[in-house]
Amino acid sequence: MYDLHIGKTSVKRWIVKYLFHNYDCLRCGAELSPPERTWRRGKYGWNLIAFLIYEIVELCVPQRVTTRHVNRLFGLTLPRSSVGEQKRAAARLYEETRQTLLRRIVEGTLVHADETPIVTQGKRGYVWVFCNFDDVVYFYSESREAETMRTLLKGFKGVLVSDFYPAYDSMDCPQQKCLIHLMRDLNDDMLKNPYDDELRQIVQQFGDLLKQIVDTIDRRGLKKYFLNKHLRDVKRFYRWLFSGQWQSEVAAKCKQRFEKNREKLFTFLGYDGVPWNNNNAEHAMKAFAALRDVIEGTTTASGIEEYLVLLSVSETCRYKDLDVLEFFLSREKDIDAFLRSRARTRAQLGRSNEKPTQVRIVQTALEILAAHPAGMGFTSLVERLHGLLPNESENTIRIYTAKLRAWRPQEVYKPARGIFRLARFRETEATDVETNRTAT
């Protein structure tokens, strides 16, 4: 059996020969085999299969290139169809994992949803993503109808965060529309109608309202205890909007849009941990978009579904700051169980020299950044930490915050100067970072 031996600093071909003894019963003539067989009855070992899946799913390498790559580096003779066969087998293995992730999402209190088209051999289909801050699942459907979403999210009673696609309105649960999408639409209207004073007034009033709310979020987090006070500001904004006599056609349509979505624009003010944007789903969808650039037009509907099973596992590992290849190599199907098995090792290797004050500040900073997928500026993060840790001096918080990336390089990175973001949000649009930076 051909396999790979993956060490800390090397990868090499590993050929395993299995020898089994069969036994014949002298009385009845039955043939017996020992039960402790570890052979998978395949020509290729699991490490090699895990490496192939890692390349085609996590690194988005085409199957044809992966086959040539492995054959050249390790002296193998994989046929072109072999990678597809291993992908199919791995998808069957991890389908149970995807269903477990979906069940946890449905039983939770928050779901981010998004959808995007894909072409499969001349036929147009759609990929749906459902996620929270810990788990991600992808599913394929032949249409964009809401039935797919209602079936997958059956029984969900939390808050659904989405864009303004009408199909999401069919869900029987509280909803929060992405305000960044709304801001982009308003900005587009302003660019197309630069001399419309009525539209400018509406956009300016909404921008001032949102800026106040985002300032509170940066200081206090997504806590309804601190956000409830802005409900008065929202009511004041709508009273002002409805009292105006809007003669401009664009301004009138803008008013109608605010009125239609009144119950879905500021839902997050009444819940803990509900974001005001859909950056989390867009971040998850970007992982599929990278894969789509490689497979679109050449794969089948069943092939996409296999990719989505493995991508659900891969992206969830990234959300939990786990090494994707390490998880595949472990043969574990429960991601949380694998995470718990690695927790002690991480604590011993990475945090053995941390002081109690440092632990407190770093852990609190990570919790704050988890609620801000677009990242936070240094000053905003320090102010937020000082508000949550009043017993710590501001100078100490500044020092420890400045070293946050050095202490937690696997969890925190800087997409731009002065901006801190969790590594699991690395693919989020650069425009989202700029939006957050301006707001803070």
Q: Are residues 138 and 257 in the same domain?
A: no
Give residue 293's domain range: 90-173+278-321
Apex 370 CA angle, 369 and 372, nearest 5: 60
Token representation of residue 315: 């992206």
Q: Are residues 307 and 363 in the same domain?
A: no
Distance CA 243, CA 197 (A): 16
Distance CA 328, CA 4 (A): 13
Q: Which of 296, 290, 295 is nearest to 314 (CA)?
A: 290
Token representation of residue 342: 């690695």
* pLDDT tens digits, 36-55: 555 666 788 899 999 999 99
Tell whether the model's pLDDT for residue 113 goes beyond 80.
yes
* pLDDT tens digits, 377-397: 888 898 889 888 888 888 888
Q: Are residues 265 and 191 in the same domain?
A: yes
Tell whether the model's pLDDT for residue 333 goes beyond 90.
yes
* pLDDT tens digits, 263-301: 999 999 999 999 999 999 999 999 999 999 999 888 899
* pLDDT tens digits, 195-240: 999 999 999 999 999 999 999 988 888 899 999 999 999 999 999 9
What percent of the chain clears pLDDT 70, i.e. is strictly above it? Answer: 92
Which own/partner contact pairs does 237-241 have at CB distance under 8 Å and 24+ positions apart?
A: 237/205, 237/206, 237/209, 238/262, 240/205, 241/202, 241/205
* Cα 185 to Cα 38, 49, 175, 420, 436, distances in angstroms: 58, 45, 19, 27, 17
Q: Are residues 125 and 152 in the same domain?
A: yes
Distance CA 239, CA 45 (A): 67
> Is 260 contained in some domain?
yes
Asked whether the whole model's pTM tops 0.95, one would answer no
CATH number for the domain that contains residue 113: 3.30.420
> Is 329 contained in some domain?
no
Q: Which helix (H) or strand (E) holds 348?
A: helix 335-350
* Cα 344 to Cα 5, 105, 366, 394, distances in angstroms: 25, 26, 19, 31
> Is 335 contained in some domain?
no
Q: Are residues 186 and 265 in the same domain?
A: yes
Tell me which DSSP letter residue 255 carries: H
* pLDDT tens digits, 160-201: 999 999 999 999 999 999 999 999 999 999 999 999 999 999
Q: Are residues 265 and 283 in the same domain?
A: no
The total number of structural domains in the chain stands at 4
Q: Are residues 289 and 409 in the same domain?
A: no
> Is 51 contained in some domain?
yes
* 160 neighbors 168 (Cβ within 8 angstroms): yes
Q: Are residues 189 and 266 in the same domain?
A: yes
Apex 404 CA angle, 402 and 406, nearest 5: 100
The residue among 270, 293, 312 that closes a domain is 270
Q: Which of 183, 151, 152, 179 is nearest to 163 (CA)?
A: 179
Taking the alpha carbons at both ends of the chain, their separation in whole angstroms is 57
* pLDDT tens digits, 338-384: 988 876 555 554 444 445 788 888 888 988 988 888 788 888 898 88
The residue among 25, 49, 81 that closes a domain is 81
Distance CA 428, CA 201 (A): 30
Rg (CA), the chain: 26
* pLDDT tens digits, 148-159: 999 999 999 999
Q: Which residues pair with 129 in a beta bridge?
A: 114, 138
Q: Are residues 297 and 433 in the same domain?
A: no
> Is 332 contained in some domain?
no
> Is 345 contained in some domain?
no
> Is 154 contained in some domain?
yes
Q: Are residues 266 and 196 in the same domain?
A: yes
Token representation of residue 192: 């197309």
Token representation of residue 98: 């995807």
> Is 247 contained in some domain?
yes
The residue among 33, 59, 81 that closes a domain is 81
Q: Are residues 265 and 189 in the same domain?
A: yes
Q: Which of 232, 214, 266, 261 is nearest to 371 (CA)?
A: 214
Q: Are residues 183 and 265 in the same domain?
A: yes
Average pLDDT of the residues of the chain: 88
Token representation of residue 325: 């290849």
Tell whether the model's pLDDT for residue 65 goes beyond 50.
yes
